[in-house]
Amino acid sequence: MPFYMRHAPPKNVTRREEIESTDNFEPLIEPSNGEDKIEIAETPDFGLSVEVLSLHCEPTDSSSPTTPHIQEIRISALDVPNHLDRKDGAFGKKGINGVSVAVHELEQEEPSSQSLELKQSRLARIKDRVYGHFHPQALLHLLDFRPWFWPFTWKKYFVILIISSIIAGIIVSDHYTHWIATSLKITRSYMLPVLVISVCAEPLIILIILPVAKLPEIPKQQIDLVMGREVDIEGGISEKLKVRQGPFETALVIPCHDTDHTAMRTTIDSALPHFRPKDIFIIDNGRSKYPSHPDGNFREYIRSIHPDIVYVWSPIGSKNAAQLVGALAARERGYRYIMTVDDDVCIPKNFDPPTDMIDDKFKAVAFPIKAMDAQCNVPLWLVAWQDVEYRLSGMSKLAEDRLCGVQFPHGAGWFVELESFITLMEYYHPMDFIAEDCNAGLGLSRMGKGIRLDARCYLATEVPTTLFGPGLNWWKQRQKSWEMGRHGRLFVFIRHFFLSMPPKRTIQGVLWHKLTFFYLICSIIIDWLRIPTIIALGRTATWWRNAILLMLFSVIPPMIYNYWKCRRRPDMKVRFWACFTYPWYKQMYVLVAICGAIRWAGFFLGGHQVPPTIQQMLKSKDERCFWLDPRFKDNPAWLADEAEAAEAERSREGAGSSPVDTTEVSPPTATYSSTTMPSVDYDLPQPPNSKAIPQPRGSPDLDAMGGLSTLSSGPPSPLIITTPSRLVRETNPFEDPDFVYSEPFQHEGLRDERDLPR
């Protein structure tokens, strides 16, 4: 009797029935009598590699064929590059962690224990989810006002004195004139107009933007490529194996600091189909002369990915300074453009350097962005809400691009002419991380140049997944960085409203340019007016009823975007429930905007330390300007080389006269090869009777594919990665330094058909 493997798991079937049933199965291999071991390289339509570890075949009688008894099987993921290994359509879908399950152990499972474990696991998941969103330490951090007063500086206390004087003046003047009560009475008499302005201003602006913005259409083949919907496998091979031809004029600059290895690997692998390894510049930076990383030698890790990737250490702890260093290094190698992205951004499959958009007026190109979590998914609710927010922001930039030019790029990544970028960073950028993308747009405007928007593709960036969770949560990012920085640009916006002009100096271009800055100014003022409005009107039920009804108006813009603007661009769509519940997110954002305004007044004005600009560093002969050293021209990584030489010397002294072993060693926690992505080495000792495989960032998920999700008792089996024949490559990238990754295609079975647009 042949051994069978199902192409897709049926519904309402137990795990044992799913393994042993032969209905609707296809024969894969014919076993022989007796004990045998059968290895199956892959099951194409399911994206799995299956290995039958133990198979015992006994004849039932002399006339009947042998019947196999499966004792243990091992299922593991196909070798899909991590930048394709995603649930999101633009980058593929999550894969599967290798598991080993013995069938006889599945038979011994008791339903009562299973239901108890399931109930306990549900309670644990609920507890972890609530605890993850509202971590006690993060909540206490919100009440920590010590940075407002300490350390002592004259500027800080001078600002506090001014704020205290304003508050005292309000109290004293109200005591004699009672103007606050009069103002509240007038506000109550105009309740509806006040609510419309404070609640519906942004949705109304977006409704004006949507008809103006024109989302470009792209060929259906690109949409299928982005969403992973290729069906004609043989017909798509030649298209995917097209190697990028020159001229290679664009360098990819990735600034990073204490970056997670897997996150960096994901970003690099998403870039390899579009950039040669030697076109990629990793600018590691920190506040020390020589490289430092919490996980060891980060340069060795970059070398393990590909030795031709350019690693540079910058002793200036600044993202913008790191971008400048990368641009200077790229200029020495003859590049004309740079594409700079953060270390948690993925470049889509249909990316192409938009050099056609660069001209005398426009020296940079921005991209729409998409939100994702660390596992590259777009789960409800917080991540999906941010995804809607990013897409609507992209539409506003698309309208600007059509009429006057984009005002600000997204900080996640943009494309710039190299010389213009160097000029921007050296002369027009304050080098402050707070609102650094806004400062970049304002700096280009001061240069008399503009920004375009390429909506033919989009960048996916990781976003916070918790409200008040540990680490970088949503509240901390928005209140302490984004909103505080936005309010800090108030006077700059006023200056540009009156003094600046757009690159497209047509009537509609100038009007839209002024309207954009006018709205930015008004939104900041509205944030301050919301405080007395809530005090004046928040004590009446009528106000809350009208506010909730008007709040629902925020549903309309994302719905129009999703089902009208994206009707021919399904790759740009967002989740329905995220659109439907978007008003609740906007009301949360009202609170974070108010708190950001308060933090700007109480901390940013007096306590924020602005870093020196590049010109100030050059004038003071700051030793951190290491690019002035003559060695930088031929070797921008000379600081990292010095650190390695010093480490080798210390090792030689410690070992006496023994020679130094210069063999490159990959990080001990991961194994790499020329054909596989980094995966946790599960050969390391682990506790026995483990019930679940740990899920590292970017690792495949078995349950997501509908497969088995438990380990057999005893020592766990290693994660097996089988190289699939579908990922066709013309050569080994580690043997050819000029190798350019061919674009591998993804089988439809690995794609999630949910409401995709990241």
Q: DSSP for 545-603, please give it.
A: HHHHHHHGGGGHHHHHIIIIITTT-GGG---HHHHHTHHHHHHHHHHHHHHHHHHIIII
Neighbours of 370 (CB within 10 A): 29
Helix (H/G/I), strand (E/B), else coil: 266? helix
Give phi and psi for 219, each to the nearest 5.
Answer: -60, 150
Selection from 48-62, 403-417, 604-618 with the highest mean pLDDT: 403-417
Residues in the chain: 758
The amino acid that residue 5 corresponds to is M
> Which pTM was predicted?
0.70
Q: Is residue 627 a contact partner of residue 325, using CB atoms and an 8 Å limit?
A: yes
Q: Which residues of 64-98 are buried (b: 16+ CB within 10 A; e: fewer)?
A: eebebebebbbbbbbbbbbbbbbbbbbbbbbbbbb
Q: Is residue 355 a contact partner of residue 249, using CB atoms and an 8 Å limit?
A: yes
Position 377 scores a pLDDT of 86
| Widest distance between CA atoms in the chain | 110
Strands 459-462 and 369-372 turn out to be: parallel
Neighbours of 536 (CB within 10 A): 20
Distance CA 503, CA 329 (A): 29
Distance CA 641, CA 565 (A): 52
Distance CA 757, CA 735 (A): 37
The position carrying tokens 């910058």 is 314
The string of pLDDT tens digits covering residues 80-128 is: 344 334 434 444 333 333 333 444 444 444 555 566 666 667 777 777 7
Helical H segments across 466-552, by residue range: 474-477, 484-488, 490-499, 507-537, 541-551
CA-nearest of 58, 19, 97, 52 to 679 is: 97
Distance CA 537, CA 550 (A): 15
pLDDT over 90 at 64, yes or no? no
Distance CA 84, CA 81 (A): 5
The string of pLDDT tens digits covering residues 491-503 is: 999 999 999 999 9
Q: Kindly state the DSSP code that residue 627 receives in the 8-state scheme.
A: G
Q: What percent of the chain has pLDDT over 70?
A: 68
Position 441 scores a pLDDT of 94
Q: Is residue 412 a contact partner of residue 267, using CB atoms and an 8 Å limit?
A: no
The string of pLDDT tens digits covering residues 310-335 is: 999 999 999 999 999 999 999 999 99
HSE, side-chain direction, 13 A CA sphere, residue 474: 23
Least confident of 80-84, 640-644, 670-674: 670-674
Q: What percent of the chain has pLDDT over 90?
A: 43
Q: Kindly state the DSSP code that residue 245 receives in the 8-state scheme.
A: P
pLDDT over 70 at 177, yes or no? yes
Average pLDDT of the chain, as a whole number: 74
Which regions of the chain carry the CATH code 3.90.550.10?
195-632
Distance CA 329, CA 323 (A): 10
Distance CA 348, CA 454 (A): 13
Angle 114-119-120 from CA coordinates, rounded to 5°: 100
Topology of the domain covering 195-632: Spore Coat Polysaccharide Biosynthesis Protein SpsA; Chain A (3.90.550)
Name the residue with higher pLDDT: 187 or 507. Answer: 507
Least confident of 175-179, 221-225, 413-417: 221-225
Position 116 scores a pLDDT of 61
Least confident of 200-214, 231-245, 651-665, 673-687: 673-687
Helix (H/G/I), strand (E/B), else coil: 11? coil
Name the residue with higher pLDDT: 576 or 711. Answer: 576
3-state secondary structure 392-414: HHHHHHHHHHHHCCECCCCCCEE
Q: Kindly state the DSSP code that residue 468 receives in the 8-state scheme.
A: B
